[in-house]
């Protein structure tokens, strides 16, 4: 697979002229999981969205390999998978359909999509929920379906936004291990989290506070 460094260069992001991230510098590297931590409202989601091309910087840039990130179409084409904080699942589709549809939309052949879907649902302990509608699943199960959908993409970059917030300790550990495995596959993984234990299990940590970023572990 193509390996992609996500380089954040003096990034400032503002909403309505008010800066929420100021001069952030960090590089997320293939084979590693970068944790993004910080209190609620510190800008973790904003940083991941800028990496995904969903928000334009006020100044500075995000680079994906040699290319400056401009929009989501570009990052999708480059294999950047995003697991959003709100899951982004279709409530009236089953767990399996949610994963399958995303793969088919990405051009994965049907046979392979079915195989990948079964694999990720199994990995996340959801084989028994494959045919259940998402709206009938618990919050934690829904969160695991969203993670399954992100992992099934086998992207070059995986941006995971607070994907363990509704999980019990055992599933949190499982998900952190799966993010690590995704990095070992060669992906660049960025994981926004409130959970110090989950952050400690990552390879590096960027802590956000008052709009500034500090690399507390590299
Ligand atoms: N669309 C928006 N318009 C205006 N302000 C926004 C918007 N989205 C986020 N903000 C503000 O930007 C700041 C950072 O929000 P963000 O969601 O990135 O933080 P976070 O660290 O992910 O928070 P949490 O841990 O609570 O999810 C907050 O003050 C928030 O109110």
Q: How far apart are CA 173 and CA 171, in angstroms?
A: 5
State the distance from the centre of ligand 1 to the C-alpha of 162, rounded, in angstroms.
13
Tokens of 115: 């195989």
Alpha helices (runs of H) in 92-134, residue ranges in sequence order:
95-105, 110-123
State the distance from the centre of ligand 1 to the C-alpha of 206, rounded, in angstroms.
17
Q: Whose CA is nearest to atom 24 of ligand 1?
A: 40
Place of tokens 């959003």: 84
Q: Whose CA is nearest to atom 2 of ligand 1?
A: 15
Query: What secondary structure letter does DSSP report for 47?
Result: H
Confidence (pLDDT) at 19: 96
Identify the CATH number of the domain defined by range 1-79+159-218: 3.40.50.300
The pLDDT profile of the chain, 218 residues, written as one tens digit per residue, is: 789 999 999 999 999 999 999 999 999 999 999 999 999 999 999 999 999 999 999 999 999 999 999 999 999 999 999 999 999 999 999 999 999 999 999 999 999 999 999 999 999 999 999 999 999 999 999 999 999 999 999 999 999 999 999 999 999 999 999 999 999 999 999 999 999 999 999 999 999 999 999 999 88
State the distance from the centre of ligand 1 to the C-alpha of 42, rounded, in angstroms.
7
Sequence-separated (6 or more) residues with CB below 8 Å from residue 60: 8, 9, 10, 11, 12, 23, 24
The boundaries of every CATH 3.40.50.300 domain in the chain are: 1-79+159-218
Cβ(6)–Cβ(32) below 8 Å:
no
Cβ(2)–Cβ(79) below 8 Å:
yes
Q: How far apart are CA 146 and CA 164, in angstroms?
A: 11
Give the model confidence (pLDDT) of 59-93 as tens digits.
999 999 999 999 999 999 999 999 999 999 999 99
pTM of the model: 0.97
* Ligand 1 site residues, Cβ closer than 6 angstroms: 15, 20, 38, 40-46, 85
């Amino acid at each position: 697979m193509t390996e992609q460094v996500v380089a954040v260069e003096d990034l400032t992001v503002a909403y309505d002229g008010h800066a929420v991230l100021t001069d952030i510098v960090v590089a997320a590297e293939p084979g590693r999981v970068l944790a993004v931590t910080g209190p609620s409202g510190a800008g973790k989601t904003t940083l991941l969205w800028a990496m995904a091309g969903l928000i334009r910087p006020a100044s500075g840039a995000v680079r994906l390999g040699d290319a400056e990130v401009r929009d989501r179409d570009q990052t999708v084409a480059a294999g950047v998978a995003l697991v959003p904080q709100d899951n982004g699942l279709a409530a009236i589709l089953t767990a399996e359909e949610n994963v399958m549809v995303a793969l088919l939309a990405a051009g994965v052949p049907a046979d392979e999509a079915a195989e990948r879907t079964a694999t990720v649902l199994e990995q996340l302990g959801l084989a028994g929920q494959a045919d259940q509608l998402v709206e009938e699943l618990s919050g934690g199960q829904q969160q695991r379906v969203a993670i399954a959908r992100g992992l099934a993409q086998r992207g070059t970059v995986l941006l995971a936004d607070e994907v363990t917030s509704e999980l019990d300790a055992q599933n949190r550990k499982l998900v952190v291990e799966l993010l690590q495995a995704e990095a070992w596959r060669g992906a660049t993984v960025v994981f926004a989290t409130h959970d110090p234990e989950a952050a400690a299990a990552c390879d590096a940590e960027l802590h956000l506070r008052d709009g500034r970023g500090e690399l507390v572990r590299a």
